[in-house]
Amino acid sequence: MPDGGIQIVAQHRARAFSCFRSFDTPRPGLFPRPRPDPDAPPRHPWLATFERSPEAAFNDLISGYADVGPLGRLEAPEAANMLFGDLRADDPAWLSLGWAILGWLEKRRQQASPEDAPGRQRWIREVRDAFDIVALLEIETAAVELRRGFAAWNSWVADLIAAPSRDARAAYWSMLARTQPLMLAATPPLDPFGLSSHWLWICESAGTILPESYLGIGLLGLRRLPETAGGSELPWLTGLAWWADAQRPSREVFLTQWRALKFLYPRTSAHWLVRIHEVLSGPRFRDQGIVAPAWWAEDQDLA
């Protein structure tokens, strides 16, 4: 997908990835799990059941049949967070969780979804919840394998959409976006910038061939790319510009998206204007006669 926006991201990707390749193996503790809270509740007895048969127990948890006491009232991702979130990195249950999820997802991928609408919605919700658990708990083993097999998994989830709240594709993409930092420790190594063009495409397509809500996923993916010398805001500024160019949002809609992100990145007006000029200097915008500050001219703070 040749374009100035991708060229900008690719230039900074090349600089940063050269240093990542210097590690033949991941450094121990590169992404250490936090120490358990000494005041956390005792280890839940259901975890012993999980250790005996991780995949079957995970199936019970994701489908709402696990005997987890009052946690059964929670959504599956929330219950998983309560059960596994405070475990030590060397806890047997924690070490089994990623592979249990992968095994469950692989079996689900080999199955046909139910034909009746309620059954299909429940089936898709469970897949969505499995991806949400990987993202919420930052389960490295599962996240890395789901990213490494992107082509196959992405093809599978393309049809797993029953409603905005039953959208396994959105959950898969969101999980990939949120867990990108974990790719730095993968063995063999994975390009942490490998989905840059995918995130830009999502931004460009949100509101046409993709739902408008997917813009948040694309921008999140760009925001979670490793920081480079070019700054952490350049990729998502590029994504925002691609979206604005493709969708031509109203002044109010653009400012809503821009200000929500601008708030998270305290920068001077001069800094923003330099970055905006850098993004809009690419051929995609230059060839259309779009000059900076373009859509950002509506932000009086940048005047």
pLDDT per position as a tens digit, 127-182: 999 999 999 999 999 999 999 999 999 999 999 999 988 999 999 999 999 999 99
What mean pLDDT, rounded, does the chain reach? 88
Confidence of residue 68 (pLDDT cuts 50, 70, 90): very high
Q: Cβ distance 85 to 107 under 8 Å? A: no
Element (H, E) at 163: strand 161-163
Domain ranges of the chain: 1-23+193-303, 25-188
Determine the Cα–Cα distance for residues 149 and 154; give it in Å rounded to an integer: 8
Q: pLDDT tens for residues 248-261?
A: 999 999 999 999 99
CB atoms within 10 A of CB 201: 18
Q: Say which DSSP state 301 is in.
A: G
pLDDT of residue 39: 62
Confidence of residue 228 (pLDDT cuts 50, 70, 90): confident
The two three-digit tokens of residue 37, written as one number = 């809270």
Would you say residue 32 has pLDDT above 60? no
User: What is the model's pTM?
Assistant: 0.87
Confidence of residue 31 (pLDDT cuts 50, 70, 90): very low
Instruction: Between 125 and 5, name the one with better pLDDT.
Output: 125
Residue indicated by tokens 């921008």: 219
Among 34-38, 49-53, 131-135, 246-250, name the one with the lowest average pLDDT: 34-38
pLDDT of residue 185: 85
Q: Give the closest residue to 256 by CA, choosing from 271, 275, 243, 274.
A: 243
